[in-house]
Amino acid sequence: MKVIHTIAELGKYQRPAFVPTMGNLHEGHIALVKQAKALGDVTVASIFVNRLQFLPHEDFGTYPRTLEADCKKLEAAGCDVVFAPSEAELYPEPQGYKVQPPAELADILEGHFRPGFFTGVCTVVLKLFNIVQPGVAVFGAKDYQQQMVIRRMVAQMALPIEIVTGATLRADDGLALSSRNGYLSPAERAEAVQLSRTLKGMIAALKMGERNIAAIEQHAMKTLADRHWQPDYLSVRRRHDLQPPQAGDFGADKLVVLGAAKLGTTRLIDNIEV
């Protein structure tokens, strides 16, 4: 496996399979890399903590940088190239040009609670796409809204890249794997599974015939708040556009439940398709 730190060194790899990450890798990331390996002759993973997608009060400064450990995991997974640029390499001057995704998709849910997040994501992903020139790129389903935003950016910008979604990996108790799980204390880690259990409770209500979406969401919010979480949203949405469901949207394979909540100082997200 080759570790590259400069844009110039990437030029010789033709249309690789690409997995962009912010490092601090877990088995969910490694599963995406293994999925990418089956889709291209050469697999490139990037490791870059992107300042543009962090709000001033968020954890950009303390986000774990674990390049050496990450490279060992990637090499064991069969990754061919790691692109790990410095901030000066990727942003040699202030990034004045940015990608602004449409508000109806980017300013709801995550975008509502993290203003500008998807502008930062789209800007760095487009830049990485231009640098790596992949034929296919793999993103995790845990970041449901993010992969939808990127998929639509690729379509609207007519980029010759296939976007593939990798399934969410979960711990044995159901907690979605996340780099931020490492912030949890032992007691918080035991409690963290309640996020996915609450989402499953929302699905159970839908399957029982409940159609008062506001009531389902309010009950879910209260469930977590009563357990000393600080929920941002627990929401039932249509899969294809993440808008609230209408009367005709309750058929099979049309809905997704999504949640984001803070446990202690750690903000967790999850989703489950209905």
Question: How many percent of the chain have pLDDT more than 90?
Answer: 93
Residue 247: predicted pLDDT: 87
Residue spans in the chain of domains classed CATH 3.30.1300.10? 179-273
User: Quick one: pLDDT band at residue 123, thresholds 50, 70, 90?
Assistant: very high
Tens of pLDDT, residue by residue over 215-259, are 999 999 999 999 999 999 999 999 999 999 998 888 888 999 999
Residue 225: predicted pLDDT: 98
Q: 74: closest CA among 44, 94, 51, 99?
A: 44
**Residues noted as catalytic:** 29
Tens of pLDDT, residue by residue over 151-194, are 999 999 999 999 999 999 999 999 999 999 999 999 999 999 99
* CATH number of 179-273, picked from 3.30.1300.10, 3.30.2310.20, 1.10.3720.10, 3.30.300.210: 3.30.1300.10
CATH architecture designation of domain 2-166: 3-Layer(aba) Sandwich (3.40)
